[in-house]
Structure 1
Amino acid sequence: MTSATLSKPGFLRSKVGGLPPAFWALWTGTLVNRVGMMVQPFIGVYLTQARGMSYAAAGVVMAVFGVGSLLSQIVAGWLADRLGRRVTLTGGMVATAITMVALGYSTSLPAIVATMFVLGVTMDAYRPASNALVADLIPPQERARAYGLLFWALNLGFAVAMVAGGWFAQAGYGWMFGINAATSLIFGLLVWRAVPETGPAPGERERGGFADVFKDRLMVAFSVIIVLSSVAYAQAFTTLPLAMTDAGFTTVDYGLIIAVNGILIVLVQPLTGDWLGRRDHGTVLAVGFAIIGVGLALTAVVSSLAGYAVSVVLWTVGEIVTAGIQGAIVASLAPPHLRGRYSGVYGLSWSGGAMLAPLLGTRLLELSPVLLWLTIGAVNLVAAAGLLAIGPALRRRTA
């Protein structure tokens, strides 16, 4: 692709143009919030080094955070439909800022456990509201591109946060908590000022509930598929570093090869989102899951840093293919007055899979690294096959 092509107005418009100002306010807030999200990636180091906890105690505290995160998807999904998208997102971010400060000042184990649980509930509460906002603001044919751009903002912000968080952790953890709180507050206030309420009118907010979501057999089937895919995908960030260190590599080696993931997403994903978003969503997602599965399975036979990098490149390509598609599918399945709840169940599927991932992955790793990666690859291929099976039903609902 030439620089002349990249500079053409039509090319740029197809990638980032044509979306309303309210979406870009949401996008900007998401980026700012993600840049400041330094506490979560370094919380294990903080608990063990700054608070003197054992690995076991730190693990329990982080598990409590995970339970809070699981609950947040259901609670926030209900609030997004009941009170509105804007108030749920803003309230969640303001509560996150307050809890961040409280956690930074907590010294006793009970206080840390309590604030970590609250933080788990508040930190991810924005997701169902954000997903519902996009579904409300963006027409169906552009939703995959919009969700893909939010995915890109998350990855760009995360890359900055990882570098900045490491520096601030050395300078003093207080900086890390303060900046994380400030960016959460900025996100919430930006949405409150620049994003209108898009949810159903007050008279419509009482109709339906989570029972309606779970009666939707197509949504339930899709959620099960998401659990499978997230169990597989999360291995890259849970058991892959363990497998590499067991094989004689260092944490620096893992950091280098996982950086390939972020770099490729930031460089490539915005260039492909509009084209992929206009293809059949079920088929595109199945292809992406299959590529991720093959890339993860390839880890079973690599033994060099270059080999690990190749496997990361492959499953990252699959991740780029899937970017934005899942959110677009959920938006197409959800009636407008239940978009928050549908997004909450979708978020619950991701969080549940991420919590199951280390339990399954570490057990398989103890048995055999080869068994681990072949099994995980097979799990994602099963998810891809499941998508192809429900593909006709997805197409009918979309139509």
Structure 2
Amino acid sequence: MAVLTSRPPLAPPGPLSLPRPFWTLWLGTVINRAGAIVQPFLSVYLVQIQGFTLPQAGVVMTVFGVGSLLSHVLAGWLADRYGRRLTLTCGMLATSTAMVLLGAASGFFAVAAIAFLLGLTIESYRPASQAMVADLVSPAQRPRAYALLFWAMNLGYAVAMVAGGRLADHGAHAMFGVNAAVAVVFAAVVWRAVPESRPVEGPLPAAGLRGVSRDRLMLAVCAVTAAYGLLYAQAFTTLPLAIAEQGITRTHFGLAMALNGVLIIAFQPLTGIWLARRDPGRVLAAGTAIVAAGFALTALVHDARGLALTVAIWTAGEIVIAGTLPTIVAALALPEQQGTYAGVSGMSWAAGAVLAPMIGTALLPLGPEALWNVIGLVGALSALGALLIAGPIRRRTVAG
């Protein structure tokens, strides 16, 4: 029978006050995200290379999204049951295999089936990484650690967007091959340089979703997270369509959206220590309110400068939330449930993101004012929900 053990620290703190295994994980995340070039160009590949119609490509992308949605919970449970390192490593190897198969597949049904498998594996590293950070890093340092991990993802994504466009020009095989190879590198880095951090010995019969379903406070956090996902995902779903109707060119839209990445890379590392001293529930509420304000103000935008200002506002809220939300989830979970809680949290955000284009495109014909006022209201309700549960989160964290 598996029992909790009091393991000694896995590694002495590094020069930047976080454990060395964390920095290895951070570096692996940068490498992995820098090579994650297939997903942003997948729809283009389906239409231009596979020759699918737009409805067919939409079905494949939906199937991929469903797999990605399930990936969070499955990987989180596996991380608790069999270990963080094993789950992350096997997940990346499975992702690499699915990448190769998808690059070689032809025909609608074969591509759709493999796209589902790719979605089921491609996000497996997230709950495992989040649980690993909770294991390795003290509660006081978690906001900074999670913020740095978020920064690593954005740093790598910026590289992927540049490299992906060039590799796509050289053919689909180069794009899929590089992405598959990078996934193997990430798996190797973790397996060789990051020790298992789960505070148990042997396979653990994890409580799974049943344990989360009985945690009312965690369910409230999931509701706030889903609403935030619906709010934030508008940036990449409805916003490009709405801005065209508000008289802004695609070039100016691209430049304004690039500001999002620039601000995150420039300021994210500077916020972790300051935010770690604040109440996490109130920080989550404040960050969500800022994001909501940024999108609500988009209703008043009629030029590139106005758009850039709103992007800067909701990016500031995103920076505030990035390290706070996973910190709250880690604080609510028992050590042996970190993966499952992280997976459910990730699935909640993804569920909101799936609903985002449905709701956004339904509101778009009513005009920009109706669209952004409703989206802003969703964000305001999410911020209010975060504020209402801030006290219970603080009391439970202190009690823990």
TM range (shorter): over 0.9
Matched residues in 2 for 1:92 and 1:73: separation?
A: 11
Looking at secondary structure, tell me which structure has more helix per residue.
1
Matched residues in 2 for 1:29 and 1:98: separation?
A: 19
Q: Deviations over 1:31-60 (max 9, x none)?
A: 000001111011111111111111111011
Q: CA deviation at 1:258?
A: 0.5
Q: Which amino acid aligns with 2:229?
A: S
Question: Superposed, which structure 2 residues align to 1:203-218 within 5 Å?
Answer: 205-218=204-217
Structure 1 gaps of 5+ residues are: 1-14
> Does 1:201 find its partner at 2:203?
no
Return the TM-score normalized by structure 2: 0.94
Tell me the equivalent position of 1:275: 274
Q: Does the Cα contact within 8 Å between 1:204 and 1:337 map onto a contact in 2?
A: no
> Does 1:324 find its partner at 2:288?
no
Tell me the equivalent position of 1:12: none
Tell me the equivalent position of 2:170: 171
Question: Superposed, which structure 2 residues align to 1:19-168 within 5 Å?
Answer: 19-168=18-167
Q: Deviations over 1:178-225 (max 9, x none)?
A: 111111111111111111111132467125232111100000000000
Matched residues in 1 for 2:50 and 2:207: separation?
A: 45
Q: Which amino acid aligns with 1:19?
A: L
Matched residues in 2 for 1:294 and 1:207: separation?
A: 40
Matched residues in 2 for 1:223 and 1:381: separation?
A: 16
Matched residues in 1 for 2:18 and 2:57: separation?
A: 43
Matched residues in 2 for 1:188 and 1:285: separation?
A: 32
Matched residues in 1 for 2:207 and 2:111: separation?
A: 37
Q: Deviations over 1:319-374 (max 9, x none)?
A: 11112100100000000111111111101101101101101011011222211111
Matched residues in 1 for 2:223 and 2:314: separation?
A: 21
Tell me the equivalent position of 1:11: none
Partner SS for 1:234: helix
Matched residues in 2 for 1:302 and 1:397: separation?
A: 42
Relative distance call for 1:34 and 1:276 in structure 2 (3 A) is: same
Q: Does the Cα contact within 8 Å between 1:81 and 1:200 map onto a contact in 2?
A: no
Q: Does the Cα contact within 8 Å between 2:30 and 2:152 map onto a contact in 1?
A: yes
Relative distance call for 1:97 and 1:301 in structure 2 (3 A) is: same
> Does 1:226 find its partner at 2:234?
no
Matched residues in 2 for 1:358 and 1:16: separation?
A: 44
Matched residues in 1 for 2:251 and 2:189: separation?
A: 37
Q: Deviations over 1:136-155 (max 9, x none)?
A: 00000000100000000111
Matched residues in 2 for 1:256 and 1:171: separation?
A: 25
Q: Deviations over 1:235-264 (max 9, x none)?
A: 011101111223343333221110000000
Q: Does the Cα contact within 8 Å between 1:85 and 1:199 map onto a contact in 2?
A: yes
Q: CA deviation at 1:278?
A: 1.9
Q: CA deviation at 1:167?
A: 1.3
Q: Does the Cα contact within 8 Å between 1:273 and 1:323 map onto a contact in 2?
A: no
Q: Which amino acid aligns with 1:263?
A: V
Partner SS for 1:51: coil
Tell me the equivalent position of 2:11: none
Tell me the equivalent position of 1:297: 296
Matched residues in 1 for 2:366 and 2:173: separation?
A: 41
Q: Does the Cα contact within 8 Å between 2:246 and 2:301 map onto a contact in 1?
A: no
Matched residues in 2 for 1:195 and 1:320: separation?
A: 27
Tell me the equivalent position of 1:360: 359
Q: Does the Cα contact within 8 Å between 1:334 and 1:342 map onto a contact in 2?
A: yes
Structure 2 gaps of 5+ residues are: 1-13
Q: Does the Cα contact within 8 Å between 2:135 and 2:199 map onto a contact in 1?
A: no
Q: Which amino acid aligns with 1:217?
A: R
Q: Deviations over 1:370-395 (max 9, x none)?
A: 11111111111111111110111000
Matched residues in 2 for 1:288 and 1:74: separation?
A: 25
Tell me the equivalent position of 1:8: none
Root-mean-square deviation over aligned CA pairs:
1.3
Matched residues in 1 for 2:171 and 2:273: separation?
A: 42
User: Percent identity between the aligned chains?
Assistant: 54
Matched residues in 2 for 1:111 and 1:245: separation?
A: 36
Relative distance call for 1:60 and 1:261 in structure 2 (3 A) is: same
Matched residues in 2 for 1:43 and 1:270: separation?
A: 31
Q: CA deviation at 1:77?
A: 1.1
Matched residues in 2 for 1:353 and 1:266: separation?
A: 25
Partner SS for 2:196: coil
Q: Which amino acid aligns with 1:76?
A: A
Q: CA deviation at 1:16?
A: 8.1
Indicate the larger mover: 240-249 or 360-369: 240-249
Return the TM-score normalized by structure 1: 0.94
Matched residues in 1 for 2:122 and 2:206: separation?
A: 27
Tell me the equivalent position of 1:379: 378
